[in-house]
Chains A and B, each alone.
Chain A
């Protein structure tokens, strides 16, 4: 549930707590009312026009690294495994 997408803050109006975020060339106005200390350059998770939370770059990289590691381990063991389909 709860469609949300990460976008980068490119501008903040401190008076209104409204920010401009950018996502793949699209700019959108969102409210920062739900997050503290968001800065220009931060990535925030956008949901119904609000930033829900900041994203952690570090954690994202660690997750990706872990995924690569989990996959690689396997890839060496069972190259080309083809699990059967089930809908």
Chain B
């Protein structure tokens, strides 16, 4: 049991971290009333920027390279997300459609530039990815230490911590109250003097930053390079985590961890006698099936923010 946990939990954490980060972005955006199907594209952008920056500046920044890479990916991610904000906030675009376009655009730009800059469809592997480490002191705690603090990526902790920060911001601060108000009833927020468009821009930009962070963390902990196949569906899983987690930062975190656990189990299972007999395909579809069952069974009535997906026209009805 102990050993099973010790091998599963770190894998769950590294698998889930990019999903958690991206899902947090989704929570911000959707809580403000802007549907974000474009998380996948934001992750693509993050992965692309993270890898390219890492490859280009590894010599300059040394051991700080991965950290600066994810920072830059956050910045570029949020700049990129402005497109979504402009379309869906300023031009009242259908937000789902704009998100789909974001996905196509990010992949198109990423691969196009990779080909133009590197002359091939995928980059080399980076020399400065993130590595796991044992957390000093904490790792020495008996039982808990080895399970939670050995062989862990700091970025995984970053993801968990940011989930709590996001919760605090959304549910304890004026900013969060306003952001949620804008997503529930923008006109009410407007009459209270809250700038609806500005809040939504901020929220979408945050989703860009988190998506960029999630994508670059994925790239620098798991993939190590960038190609058209680096991000294939992780953004959609993050979106699933947003909804599964009822648009709540901690819920989204829980959902992402759950996906990680399901994936991890599907790998570990071959060593567990009972699970080993299950056809491979069942294990492959388990995470998706479980999500559907969970949505249908336990949280069937997840209420989306009421104004989610509805452009706000001043003076409209």
Q: Do A and B bind each other?
A: no
Q: Which residues of A contact B (CB under 8 A)?
A: none
